[in-house]
Amino acid sequence: MAARIENGIYVDIRRSDGRVHNAIVTGFNKETSFVSVEWFEDGETKGKEIALKTLYDTNPTLKGELPVKKKIPRRNSKASHDRDLTTTMIAPPPSQIPTNGIPPRPQQRTVSNLPVRQATERKTQHHAPLPPPAPAPAPVPVAAPEVEPEKPKMRNTRGVAAVQPVAKPEVDEVEHTVVTTKRIRQSLPVRQPETRTKASTPTNGRKSSLPGYQDKIGQARAERRANHEEKKKMREHQMNIDPGNKNWQFLSMIREYQNKVDFKTLSMSDLTSIDGRIIVCVRKRPMNKSEIHSQEVEVVTIPNKDHIVIHRPDVKYDLTKSIDNQTFRFDCVFDENVDNDMVYRFTAQPLVNTLFDGGHATVFAYGQTGSGKTHTMGGEFRGKEQDASNGLYAFTAADVFRLLRSRQYRHLNLHVHCSFFELYGDRTFDLLAKGEKKYLRVLEDGHGKVNVVGLEEVTVEDESDVIKLIRSGSKNRFAGKTSANACSSRSHAIFQIILRGKDKKLHGKYSIVDLAGSERGADTTTSDAKTRLEGAAINTSLLALKECIRAMNAKQDRAPFRQSKLTLVLRDSFVHEKSRTCMIAMISPGMSSCEHSLNTLHYANRVKELGVEDGTIAKPIDAGEFMTVNNENEPDLSRATIESEINANEGIILDKTLDLVDALSLYKKKFLELAEMASQADYDMDSFATRMKTNLSSMKKEIFGMVSQMETHVNDFTSELQSERELLKRR
């Protein structure tokens, strides 16, 4: 039975979706009884293996038998020939036909509805003219005329079926059958593929030899649908995190990144002295009201005390959104929860001792306009008013006066002077001058000393005098409108605290610089000519400042401080042998400021990489260093920090104790005088009461204040000792 399956014959096959169409046999494996078939669909050739039993169910005629054909004498009767056209004989399989690969032909088909003209034309093409008709015998199937048939071309035919013959037909019968079948098939319309329901699908067929082929297809389809549903739910969840945010995809990716980070932000317990001539820190400001209202995405992550990550949004050519995580390392990194006091403790405070040691200290804030430089240097804003007592200017002045009165530096008999001026373009103005702004000239004398001619130095007695100077000078600064800030500082403001001896000889200088906001050229295309010139002058001076810092760290003999007025004024800060500098890079957290933040960090990183002692470059590090749960390889600096804080508090407590003893000795002397006065018989009681009241009031104010300060330092000292003991126990 299987011998009728040959390569090249057409059979009907059933697809997994119930469709039935024809295919050509390309192979037959007798050992496994599986038939290989191929067909053309959607512009490509497809194939599969079908069990022989399943193929028989779809093509039942493959198991049938052909009736035995008897050779009947040829009749030339036209009527007989017309009757022959009404029935087509089914051809045997190719294995039983001794011709050159004639494919099988369809089952019996009636052609009574064919046009007579068409049948006649086809008949006359193969037969000679017939004689007058003779009496017609009973209708019997007859063989076709012995005419050499055309070699049929293989065509995509459906419904081809054959039955197994009982006896092998003669050659002339086969030829007649082939020719007749060809004529009729050319006149019949092509049958469209049948679509059968699943109910008609045979259930008793054997499965494919491919293990679970159909099951795998169904399983893969189910998995794709499940994944699609999961992605859809995840997408809806991500959109609901911040409804209405057009950048919700970036927000979701950033939060996914942050969920993997082991956050260890900076705290006061990390306070330690940072060695080196350059200190580079970064501060991130919080989101402002405008950014919150416009649903800005925060693209800055601070995982620990000395790392910062910028999530740069990116859209690829196929509109796929992604983020590029760029990591930087600095001495200190402050998040949005840190106040000005903590920033001062880590940045400007370690440089105060340099002032008393006869050196030059410089602190400057760098960043784009609106990133919080003036807020950090001058103090927090309460509406439109600035609290000058809460900035680095005031904090530095308070520490200067504290050390000036301490036992360590009291014997130097130093006096504090302050100056406040600004650099606007190439011009210099005194911010403390009364009336109109006073234009100053910056000149260099024959000894290489730079002097600001006409700059007023105001003598101050305490920090309250300094705060008054800061308030009056800040109101006189140049301000303008930029693309990023409606009221932006357009000048470099320099506040200097100068220590001089009795002969007015310079002992030390502390410069606190609030730099103008850096800008990109792309942001000034819509600005007027004045604003563009301001931006060009600002960027030129900032570039010169960076070059001077490079020379300072490289310990070069000459620094290019003459490239701008800013570096010329700060010349002593770069060339003095006891100079130290601290840079605070200010960045904005919003996605719209991402490029500005990256430029600021690259600028600061350039300064930091030059400050590495061993000459290596401090490149951005791998995020895995702070994204692991157990940071075993990270150096533990807590012990050194605690020991440094203990030593600092120990010195402060000792100074406070000696100051308290001196104050108590003074009041002891005063009260002994009053006691001696009261021991006399005729003393002035009114005078005694007045003096006693005055001494008690001043003693209460001074002594109680000193005791309160000492109590705070002693409590800190005790807690630090306890922390050190706990740390030693853990080790």
Write out the binding residues for ATP: 367-374
Task: Report the distance separating Cα 666 and Cα 521, nearest Å.
Answer: 65
Distance of CA 511 to the CA centre of its chain: 38
Over the Cα atoms of the chain, what is R_g?
Answer: 50
One-letter identity of residue 502? K
Contacts of 552 (CB under 8 A, 6+ apart): 277, 278, 559, 574, 575, 579, 581
Q: Where are the beta strands (DSSP E) in 425-578?
A: 427-430, 438-444, 450-453, 458-460, 479-480, 488-489, 492-500, 506-514
542 touches 531 (CB < 8 A): no
Pairing of strands 479-480, 307-315: unpaired
149 touches 105 (CB < 8 A): no
Task: Report the distance separating Cα 199 and Cα 717, nearest Å.
Answer: 89
Contacts of 602 (CB under 8 A, 6+ apart): none
Task: Report the distance separating Cα 174 and Cα 575, nearest Å.
Answer: 113
Q: What's phi and psi for 296, nearest 5 deg?
A: -65, 145
Question: In terms of C-beta density within 10 A (0-12 exposed, 13-18 middle, 19 or more buried), how is residue 439 classed?
Answer: exposed
Which residue positions form the known binding site? 367-374
Task: Report the distance separating Cα 140 and Cα 70, nearest Å.
Answer: 10
- Helix H segments across 527-633? 529-553, 565-569, 571-575, 594-609, 624-627
Task: Report the distance separating Cα 311 and Cα 593, nearest Å.
Answer: 11
Distance of CA 86 to the CA centre of its chain: 78
Counting every residue written for the chain, the total comes to: 731
Q: What is the DSSP string of 332-384?
A: EEE-TT--HHHHHHHTTGGGHHHHHTT-EEEEEEEEBTTSSHHHHHH--EETT
Contacts of 63 (CB under 8 A, 6+ apart): 1, 56, 163, 164
- H or E stretch at 586: strand 579-587
